[in-house]
A and B are shown apart, each in its own frame.
Chain A
Amino acid sequence: MKRPVIALIAFAIIACLPLLGDNYLLRLGTMFAMYAVLAQSWNIIGGYAGYPSFATAAFFGLGAYTGAILQGLGWPMPLAWVAAGLLAAVFAGAMGSAILHLKGHYFAIASLVLAEVLLEVTTSWTSLTGGGMGLNLPIIRMSIAAQARLFFWSMLGLAVLTFLMSWYVSAGRIGFALRCIRQNEDASSMVGINTTRYKVVAFVMSSLFVGAAGALYASWVFYIEPPDVYSVMTTIRPIVMTMLGGAGTLLGPVIGSAIFLVIEEVVWRNFLSVHAAVLGILIVGLIFYLPNGIVGAVARRFRKRGAEKGET
């Protein structure tokens, strides 16, 4: 059976989580789905195209505030989520056209600064965003348990959509073009690839569902404030998850976000005061001992075994 189909079945099994009736597990499930959205989205620009984007927090925060403000204006929740995703995508398109000609560190910094600027704007624009005081979302008339299920399924649905997008990318022209760009951008344009267009498309794809996830997150937690949704960690986590699972692979980001969530949860519960240090150690270990991620390491082992078989 094809691997993507297995992944879809796995998603379907996870969707049955509410049957267990455990609220803690349901919260973890929602977190997993959110992480999977962020990691898979980053993988498009960071993994396939190889552009070190640090803009995830910008898309997430923009989505969270868009969703929260629109819901405050009385928009229905799902519509606010869609609008948040679209606004994030428009923002990514505009900014991407401006900064994607930068390479390496310069692109990394420019993408990082996007979140900083949005953070400052959000904090200063008190009349719209509530400024540093944060923003409360309208109360939903629904039982707590029903809400938990609603947000879980919605976030998981978003994760599945992101997965389908990644699948479309990895199997098609876009993914091929992006892989070419990652390996040699000059040669890519010489073989007929419109590199600018593909890079902007990848950047937009890496923003759409992140913006929607931000809005969903805002509805889920009822209250957002600028340093929370624009946090640097919102940017770093998906990168680490993707590297853990395997950048530029279809399943890597999903596997990475599940493992990352487990590690994070264990550390938060047992070693709260050193959780940042543990993440630091995880990163260092990852770079030195698992540079291609789990999927990459497994693929390499298979290839090696295949080669040995071929010789004998």
Chain B
Amino acid sequence: MLYAQILLNGLVLGGLYACISVGFSLVWGVLNVINVLHGSFVVLGSYIAYFAYAHFGIHPFFSIIIAGALLFALGYVVQLGLINRVVGAPVLTTLVLTFGLDLLLNNGMLLAFSADYRSVQLADPLGSAVVGGLVFPLDRLVAMLLAGVLTGLLYLLLVRSKIGRAIVAVRMDREAAALMGVDVKKIYAITFGIGALMAGAAGSLLSLVFPISPLAGSEYLSIAFIVCILGGLGSISGAIVGGIVLGLIQSFGALFIGPQHGLTIAFVLLIILLIFKPTGIMGRRGYE
């Protein structure tokens, strides 16, 4: 029973992790840019949800839309104005640039919101339900389901819409896509915007689950890193698999080794995987 409960917790956590990482993975796969800002984007999404609830009483489940829209705009502008100018540069350039931008954004959030941890205190939380001896934390569960819906929508966007197909085309072969009349720079900006949108949406969902602080940004970034390497880069299914694997590692690791070591185990696993199988569990070839 204990194991079943831990399995359940791990799956719920994993679903949320997948949602954090899927936008990161998309940007990495399509632009070959590691977006160090991603963690702060998630935190910003959480703050938007927090203030939307505190001032306007909007439930975080609905502020996904607000956070998503605002973050999309931010991401689009950042990519179009700044990152597009160095997109073909060596890996170090884009890494250091997004790191610098992250310092800016994170410092801005610290000034605006302080480092204090906050959390959304719902007036009427859903609480939890006990089914067959298993405790289902309902708010978390709904958050995870919404995360799943969002990820599904992203998948549909990529597969069905014209823009989505352009994104996939750019990912496969940038030059060929450009020859077929795709405006690559614009697609980059849209992709980056979508990555930020997913981060913001994940952030508003997470505002119900984790404490909110600018300091949490680096942890979200670590999660995104790990999930992408575990699951293999650039595919939505990879992010889901990686997220769930990480969620399970963390919840079972907490049981067997201690709660403070969850991320450590993941890091050790990550480096082993990088050394022996850099393509991830799913075995897809990365971009380098």
A243 at the interface (CB under 8 A from B): yes
Given A106-B286, A109-B225, answer yes or no on A114-B271 (Cβ-Cβ < 8 Å). yes
CA distance A283 to B93 in the complex (A): 10
A187 at the interface (CB under 8 A from B): no
Select which of B86, B90, B278 is within 8 A of A52 by beta carbon. B90
Chain A residue numbers with a CB within 8 Å of B218 are 232
Contact between chains at B97 and A120 (CB < 8 Å) = no
Say how far B109's CB is from chain A's closest CB, in angstroms. Answer: 10
Chain B residue numbers with a CB within 8 Å of A283 are 96-97, 99-100, 103
Contact between chains at A243 and B96 (CB < 8 Å) = yes
Select which of B106, B263, B278 is within 8 A of A102 by beta carbon. B278
A165 at the interface (CB under 8 A from B): no
Contact between chains at A52 and B91 (CB < 8 Å) = yes
Q: Mark A103-125, 1 if CB is under 8 A from B, else 0.
A: 11110111001101100110010
A287 at the interface (CB under 8 A from B): yes
Looking at A98, A106, A240, the one whose CB has the most chain B CB atoms below 10 A away is A106
Given A105-B34, A273-B111, answer yes or no on A236-B104 (Cβ-Cβ < 8 Å). no
CA distance A16 to B92 in the complex (A): 37
B134 at the interface (CB under 8 A from A): no
Contact between chains at B275 and A99 (CB < 8 Å) = yes
CA distance A109 to B271 in the complex (A): 9
Chain B contact residues (Cβ within 8 angstroms of A): what range? Answer: 35 or more
Q: Mark B83-119, 1 if CB is under 8 A from A, else 0.
A: 0011000111101110111111111101100000000
Chain B residue numbers with a CB within 8 Å of A116 are 222, 267
Write the chain A residue with the least CB distance to B268: A117
CA distance A46 to B270 in the complex (A): 22
Contact between chains at A46 and B92 (CB < 8 Å) = yes
Residues of chain A in range 220-275 having any CB-CB distance to chain B below 8 Å: 232, 236, 239-240, 243, 273-275
Contact between chains at A113 and B270 (CB < 8 Å) = yes
B194 at the interface (CB under 8 A from A): no
CA distance A243 to B106 in the complex (A): 22
Chain A residue numbers with a CB within 8 Å of B225 are 109
The interface residues of chain A, by DSSP majority, are classed as: helix
Chain A: interface residue total (CB-CB under 8 A): 39
Contact between chains at B264 and A124 (CB < 8 Å) = yes
Contact between chains at B103 and A280 (CB < 8 Å) = yes
Contact between chains at B100 and A287 (CB < 8 Å) = yes
A24 at the interface (CB under 8 A from B): no
A50 at the interface (CB under 8 A from B): yes
Given A46-B92, A52-B92, A284-B82, answer yes or no on A109-B103 (Cβ-Cβ < 8 Å). no
A279 at the interface (CB under 8 A from B): yes
Given A52-B90, A105-B28, A279-B100, answer yes or no on A110-B95 (Cβ-Cβ < 8 Å). no
Contact between chains at A282 and B100 (CB < 8 Å) = yes
Write the chain A residue with the least CB distance to B82: A284
Write the chain B residue with the least CB distance to A284: B100
Contact between chains at A287 and B34 (CB < 8 Å) = no
Contact between chains at A287 and B96 (CB < 8 Å) = yes
B274 at the interface (CB under 8 A from A): yes
Chain A residue numbers with a CB within 8 Å of B165 are none
Chain A residue numbers with a CB within 8 Å of B105 are 280
Given A106-B274, A124-B261, answer yes or no on A239-B92 (Cβ-Cβ < 8 Å). yes
CA distance A283 to B102 in the complex (A): 11
Select which of A108, A110, A240, A291 is within 8 A of B271 by beta carbon. A110
B124 at the interface (CB under 8 A from A): no
B residues near A (Cβ < 8 Å) are 28, 32, 34, 82, 85-86, 90-93, 95-97, 99-108, 110-111, 218, 222, 225, 229, 260-261, 263-264, 267-268, 270-271, 274-275, 278, 286-288
Enumerate the 5 nearest inter-chain pairs by beta-carbon distance, A residue then B residue, closest first: A283-B100, A280-B103, A280-B104, A277-B107, A120-B264
The contact sample of 6 A-B pairs, CB cut-off 8 A, is: A98-B275, A102-B274, A109-B229, A121-B264, A273-B111, A276-B106
